Amino acid sequence: MKRLIMGNEAVAMGALEAGMTFFAAYPITPASEIMHFLAKEEGRIVFMHAEDEIASMHMAIGGSLAGSRSMTSTSGPGMSLKQEGIGLAHMMGVPMVVINVMRVGPSTGMPTLPSQGDILQARYGSHGDYNPIVFYPASVSECYVYIQQAFNAAEESRTPVILLLDGFLAHLAETVDLRSIRVPRKKRTLPPLGKGTRHFTGLLSKDGIPQTKDTEYYRKWYAGYKKRVERVADKYAYDSYLPHPDSETLLIAYGITSRVIRPLRKEYSIYRPIRIFPVLEERIRDITSRYKRIIVVEMNDGQYRGELQKILRRDILGVSILGGTINLREVKAKINELL
């Protein structure tokens, strides 16, 4: 049976389907519907309306440590506040999911028009070196799928996995047949608190004992952590590629932007990463090598373009759609200016 649901609802439903039993958040548009939906589940799941974004992030960490699949959701300004806890969860190895429904920033910016301005924040927003897995769906049914995959990747990598949405996708209503979508669920990987003598700490530690002056050990630990995440990320290498036989130009877009530019597939090849971090390096290197020109279309000032330039070490053109409004005509005009 098909149902008309919006992106935020699909995320909440997908989380329940993934076995999430702990949710903590703080109200913020355009992410609040996730919270409203899950508030009705209170009793069946632990639902915490926290005093702030920092608390909700850390409650979710506690919930996960105690044995629940846990999640928090927010938008850009709240994401900035969660970054402290994201670093902690990476250091302690806590599986959980963080949702960021992006709106125009910086700061309060343009609530609640959509943007893709937190791409780099999702990758680099916490402190120190870390290597997050980030998914970005482009339809309501994909919201339902990739929230579940985010939980799976979180379990396997024992890290906080980020699901990015934008205000557009979050509020987009589409008909979806949820029952036709089945995502196998990964087992819990972190034994719950109690019964053990483990010590979880944000300090660099070895078997629970802080190693705060051991450079060699840090290097070894970091290499192992990075490899662990990459190995898991490899299993979740989602993307989509629509090649056009006559096109010398490849358009790269993700999330809602990829939806908007879809009609351009009649003229250009289009590549869309879904697991946007770690960047699908080999795949993108391979595909882009076939094209004379690469244009990244995104609702920010070239954030993902910079990342790709760094990896491909070649000039990449960019179409930036700023200020929370996007339409195909404007994208087309800007592409034509570049060609």
Q: Which residues contribute to the site for other proteins (CB under 8 A)?
A: 21-22, 24, 46, 48, 50-52, 54-68, 70, 84-85, 87-88, 92, 192-203, 208-210
Q: What is the DSSP letter of 42?
A: B
Amino acid at 13: M
- Between strands 96-104 and 249-252, the pairing is unpaired
Other Cβ atoms within 10 Å of 216 Cβ, number: 8
Q: How far is the CB of 55 from other proteins (least distance, A)?
A: 4
| CB nearer other proteins, residue 90 or residue 259 | 90
Q: Which is nearer to other proteins, 52 or 234 (CB)?
A: 52
The smaller minimum CB distance to other proteins, of residues 57 and 295, is found at 57
Judged by CB, which is closer to other proteins: 82, or 123? 82
Least distance CB 21 / other proteins (angstroms): 8
DSSP 98: E
CB of 127 to other proteins, least distance (A): 10
Alpha-carbon distance 35 to 31, whole Å? 7
Give the CA dihedral 123, 328, 245, 254, nearest 10 degrees.
10
Q: Which candidate, 37, 39, 46, 40, places its Cα nearest to that of 64?
A: 46
- Which residue in the block uniquely carries the two structure tokens 């579940």? 148
- Cα angle 74, 258, 230 (rounded to 5 degrees) comes to 65
Question: How many other CB atoms are there within 10 angstroms of residue 112's CB atom?
Answer: 19
Q: Which is nearer to other proteins, 35 or 250 (CB)?
A: 35
Nearer to other proteins, 89 or 150 (CB): 89
Task: For the CB of residue 45, give the shortest distance to other proteins in the complex, in Å.
Answer: 10
User: Smallest distance, Å, CB 151 to other proteins?
Assistant: 16
Phi/psi of residue 212, nearest 5 degrees: -90, 0
Question: Pairing relation of β-strands 293-298 and 249-252?
Answer: parallel
Closest to other proteins by CB, 60 vs 264, is 60
User: What is the enclosing helix (H) or strand (E) of 231?
Assistant: helix 215-235
Residue 209 forms beta bridges with which residues?
206
Distance CA 71, CA 64 (A): 9
Q: Which is nearer to other proteins, 55 or 274 (CB)?
A: 55
Tell me the closest approach of the beta carbon of residue 72 to other proteins, in angstroms: 10
Calpha distance 46→327 (Å, rounded): 40
Minimum gap (Å) between residue 257 Cβ and other proteins: 34
Q: How far is the CB of 60 from other proteins (least distance, A)?
A: 6
For 61-108, the DSSP string reads HHHHHTT-EEEEEEEHHHHHHHHHHHHHHHHHT--EEEEEEEEE-STT
